[in-house]
Structure 1
Amino acid sequence: MRLHIVAVGRLRAGPERALIDDYVKRLDRTGRPLGLGPCAEHEVEDRKGGGMEAEAALLARTCPAGAVRVMLDERGTVMPSPDFAQRLAKWRDEGRQDVAFFIGGADGLAPSLRAEADAALSFGAMVWPHALVRVMLAEQLYRAATILAGSPYHRE
């Protein structure tokens, strides 16, 4: 099952980029034998300044047809890492080919895009910088793969 991180904004070289690249590399190595991966990043920018709706249109265009759509949103479900791993495994076992995780811009995700979500996920009630949300998502995807693989990386 292919994984997609679909985000508003371009992430330049720096510590966040290095962390994401490291976790995605680990995910690909650990997850591929489990049917998770590869993981691809899709970055969009609204150069015309159309706001959330324009960003939503750009984000939707990058999402593969038929993908499970997961919105990263502070109003989403907070779940423990093992539950997240089981959710990914369930989608994989159902034969879903793609899961796309959407990260909005400074104003979040447009209501029209959130309405199309198959799931909404939150990393807590606090608002996080978008670059850190990408890092946290990449790490949680890797952690999910290690949980499913029975690796000691995740300890409860």
Structure 2
Amino acid sequence: MTQLWLVPVDERSFQQTLAEPINLSNQTQKPDEFPDRARVWGVRTDPEQGIWERNRRNLERMETGDPLLIYRNSTSRYQAKGQVGPFWHTEYVRDEFWNGGPAIDVFAVEEYEEIDVDREDVNNVLGYESNFWPQGLWRVSDNRPTERAIRQFEI
């Protein structure tokens, strides 16, 4: 079953690793399947910086190819869509691009495309309250009309 992920992003990190692909070609520790140039997002899982059980569970459920809707906190709108690409457990991206922090499990965002969708429109399709916004990596539950959202927003 396809899982839809709502991905809230802060503006600084968005500009650092999602707005444009980053060059990772000099990283010898990178898994072979991880692209040399990629848009990248991370999941907060560093045990030295907190307890991230929900994030770990979500990370274990994510699969390559899962659709993403990217929610920019600075605009309160969904402004990109894409798909989960390869994963990489690394401190490099968080240290090099995000000034530290707990996101040490990253994934490439493939099929990235800018969109401009009201939060309320996504909430309406998925059956959420109109004022809902994703906080942390958010897996849309199986009892929501995920396939309808994927079709409507062409993810």
TM-score (norm 2): 0.28
The structure with more strand, counted as a fraction of residues: 2
TM-score (norm 1): 0.27
